[in-house]
Chain A
Amino acid sequence: MSRPHHRVGPLAAAPGSAPVLDVDALLDDPQTGIIVCCGSGGVGKTTTSAALALRAAERGRKVVVLTIDPARRLAQSMGIAALDNTPRPVEGVQGEGSLDAMMLDMKRTFDEVVEGQASPEKAQQILENPFYVALSSSFAGTQEYMAMEKLGQLRRDAQRDGTYDLIVVDTPPSRSALDFLDAPDRLSSFLDGRFVKLLLAPARGPARLMTAGLGIVTSALSKVLGGAFLRDLQTFIAAIDTVFGGFRVRAQQTYALLQAPGTAFLVVAAPEPDALREAAYFVERLGEEQMPLAGLVVNRASRAPLGDLSADEAMAASARLKRESGVSETAPVTAGLLRLHADRARIVEREAALRERFAAAHPSIATAVVPALAGDVHDLDGLRVVGALLAGD
Chain B
Amino acid sequence: MSLLSRVVDVSDWPRVRLHVVTGKGGTGKSTVAAALALALASHGKNVLLCEVEGRQGIARMFDVDPLPFEERRIAAGLTGEDGASPGAVHALHIDPEAALLEYLALYYRLGRAGRALDKFGVVEFATTIAPGVRDVLLTGKIYEAVQRNARNKGAIEYDAVVLDAPPTGRITQFLNVSEVAGGLAKVGPIKNQSDTMMTLFRSPRTAIHFVTVLEEMPVQETADGIEEVRAAGLPVGGVVVNLTRPRDLRVKDLGVARRGELDRDGVAADLARVGVDGGDTMVDGLLHEAQEHAVRRALEDSQRKLVKELDVPSYELSRLPQGVDLGGLYELAASLRQQGLA
Is this pair of chains taken from one and the same complex? yes
Enumerate chain A interface residues (CB-CB to B < 8 A). Answer: 40-43, 69, 71-73, 130-131, 133-135, 138-140, 173, 175-176, 186, 190, 193-196, 198, 213-214, 216-217, 219-229, 232-233, 270, 272-275, 303, 305-309, 313-314, 317, 320-321, 324, 327-344, 346-347, 350, 374-376, 378
Contacts of A309 in B (CB 8 A): 276, 278, 282
Known A-B contacts A41-B25, A139-B129, A139-B131; A217 and B116 likewise in contact (beta carbons under 8 Å): yes
Known A-B contacts A306-B288, A333-B249, A339-B248; A220 and B263 likewise in contact (beta carbons under 8 Å): no
State the CA gap A204–B225 with chains docked (Å).
Answer: 51
Contacts of B276 in A (CB 8 A): 309, 313-314, 317, 338
Q: How far is the CB of B4 from chain A (nearest CB, A)?
A: 26
Q: Which of A195, A273, A328 lies in contact with B121, CB distance below 8 A?
A: A195
Among B277-293, those with CB < 8 Å from A are 278, 281-282, 284-290, 292-293
B128 A186 Cβ-Cβ under 8 A: yes
Quick one: closest A residue to B293, CB to CB? A340
Q: Which of B25, B53, B269, B275 lies in contact with A42, CB distance below 8 A?
A: B25
B185 A225 Cβ-Cβ under 8 A: yes
Q: Which 10 pairs from chain A and chain B are nearest by CB?
A: A42-B26, A41-B25, A306-B285, A226-B188, A330-B266, A134-B131, A42-B25, A334-B270, A307-B282, A346-B321
B120 A374 Cβ-Cβ under 8 A: no
A216-B112, A330-B266 known; 11 new pairs, CB 8 Å cut-off, are A42-B24, A134-B183, A186-B129, A213-B116, A216-B116, A226-B186, A306-B288, A309-B276, A317-B271, A324-B274, A343-B321
Contacts of B106 in A (CB 8 A): none
Q: How far is the CB of B240 from chain A (nearest CB, A)?
A: 15
Quick one: closest A residue to B104, CB to CB? A224
Quick one: closest A residue to B276, CB to CB? A317
Q: Which of B122, B183, B249 lies in contact with A130, CB distance below 8 A?
A: B183
B262 sits at the interface (CB 8 A): yes
Quick one: closest A residue to B292, CB to CB? A374
B189 A224 Cβ-Cβ under 8 A: yes
B120 A336 Cβ-Cβ under 8 A: no
Known A-B contacts A224-B190, A336-B253, A337-B289; A134 and B184 likewise in contact (beta carbons under 8 Å): yes
A334 B267 Cβ-Cβ under 8 A: yes
Quick one: closest B residue to A333, CB to CB? B253
Among B54-82, those with CB < 8 Å from A are 54-55, 57
Binds A, one of B32-40, B151-159, B214-222, B227-235: B214-222
Q: How far is the CB of B218 from chain A (nearest CB, A)?
A: 8
B339 sits at the interface (CB 8 A): no
> Could you pull out 18 A-B pairs where Cβ atoms are within 8 angstroms?
A43-B26, A139-B129, A140-B134, A176-B55, A186-B128, A214-B120, A216-B112, A220-B104, A221-B117, A228-B187, A303-B292, A306-B286, A309-B282, A314-B276, A317-B274, A321-B274, A336-B248, A343-B248
Q: How far is the CB of A370 from chain B (nearest CB, A)?
A: 15
By size class, the interface of chain B is 35 or more
B295 sits at the interface (CB 8 A): yes
Q: Which of B116, B191, B220 lies in contact with A220, CB distance below 8 A?
A: B116
Known A-B contacts A42-B26, A228-B187, A333-B262; A374 and B121 likewise in contact (beta carbons under 8 Å): no
B116 A376 Cβ-Cβ under 8 A: no
B131 A175 Cβ-Cβ under 8 A: no
Q: How far is the CB of A285 from chain B (nearest CB, A)?
A: 16
Contacts of B130 in A (CB 8 A): 131, 233
Q: Which of B116, B128, B263 lies in contact with A330, CB distance below 8 A?
A: B263
B195 sits at the interface (CB 8 A): no
Among B162-203, those with CB < 8 Å from A are 166-167, 169, 173, 180, 183-191
A306 B26 Cβ-Cβ under 8 A: no
B26 A275 Cβ-Cβ under 8 A: yes
State the CA gap A302–B200 with chains docked (Å).
Answer: 44
Known A-B contacts A221-B122, A330-B270, A378-B216; A340 and B285 likewise in contact (beta carbons under 8 Å): no
State the CA gap A339–B186 with chains docked (Å).
Answer: 61
Quick one: closest B residue to A375, CB to CB? B299
B266 A329 Cβ-Cβ under 8 A: yes
Known A-B contacts A330-B270, A333-B267; A306 and B284 likewise in contact (beta carbons under 8 Å): yes
Q: How far is the CB of A233 from chain B (nearest CB, A)?
A: 8
B24 A224 Cβ-Cβ under 8 A: no
A226 B190 Cβ-Cβ under 8 A: yes
Known A-B contacts A186-B128, A346-B322; A374 and B189 likewise in contact (beta carbons under 8 Å): no
Among B101-153, those with CB < 8 Å from A are 104, 108, 110, 112-114, 116-117, 119-122, 124-125, 128-132, 134
B328 sits at the interface (CB 8 A): no
B117 A217 Cβ-Cβ under 8 A: yes
B266 A350 Cβ-Cβ under 8 A: no
B246 sits at the interface (CB 8 A): yes
B278 A307 Cβ-Cβ under 8 A: yes
Contacts of A330 in B (CB 8 A): 262-263, 266-267, 269-270
B83 sits at the interface (CB 8 A): no
B248 A340 Cβ-Cβ under 8 A: yes
Q: How far is the CB of A38 from chain B (nearest CB, A)?
A: 13
A334 B271 Cβ-Cβ under 8 A: yes
Known A-B contacts A138-B131, A186-B128, A331-B270; A226 and B24 likewise in contact (beta carbons under 8 Å): no
State the CA gap A320–B270 with chains docked (Å).
Answer: 10
B116 A317 Cβ-Cβ under 8 A: no
Contacts of B45 in A (CB 8 A): none
Contacts of B269 in A (CB 8 A): 328, 330
Q: Which of A40, A303, A337, A376 lies in contact with B286, CB distance below 8 A?
A: A337
Q: How far is the CB of A162 from chain B (nearest CB, A)?
A: 35
B205 sits at the interface (CB 8 A): no
Contacts of A41 in B (CB 8 A): 24-26, 167
Known A-B contacts A217-B113, A307-B278; A173 and B25 likewise in contact (beta carbons under 8 Å): yes
Known A-B contacts A186-B128, A195-B122; A226 and B191 likewise in contact (beta carbons under 8 Å): yes
Contacts of B131 in A (CB 8 A): 131, 134-135, 138-139
Quick one: closest B residue to A137, CB to CB? B131
A193 B271 Cβ-Cβ under 8 A: no
Q: How far is the CB of A357 from chain B (nearest CB, A)?
A: 13
